[in-house]
Amino acid sequence: MDFNNPSFNNIVDAVYHLSLQEREELQTLLHNNISEARRDEIYQNTLQSKKNYKAGKLKSSSSIKELRKML
């Protein structure tokens, strides 16, 4: 396996050769990594939304009629 440029299939194959304990640890690491990436994505979207709102690119309303018109 080329560790400098591993393919997805090579990675999957390598995972299958790990012990159960190592695969469980990898699962936990991946779960935490994905959760962190999603949190960062939400944070970045929030920052962009606030920027757009301040620039007047977004509109808001508490009126259902107005919200329907915005759709």
pLDDT in tens, 14-71: 999 999 999 999 999 999 999 999 999 999 999 999 999 899 887 777 788 887 887 7
Rounded Cα–Cα distance for residues 4 and 2 (Å):
5
Rounded Cα–Cα distance for residues 28 and 9 (Å):
20
> How is the chain split into domains, by residue range?
8-70
Rounded Cα–Cα distance for residues 54 and 47 (Å):
11
Residue 70's pLDDT is what?
75
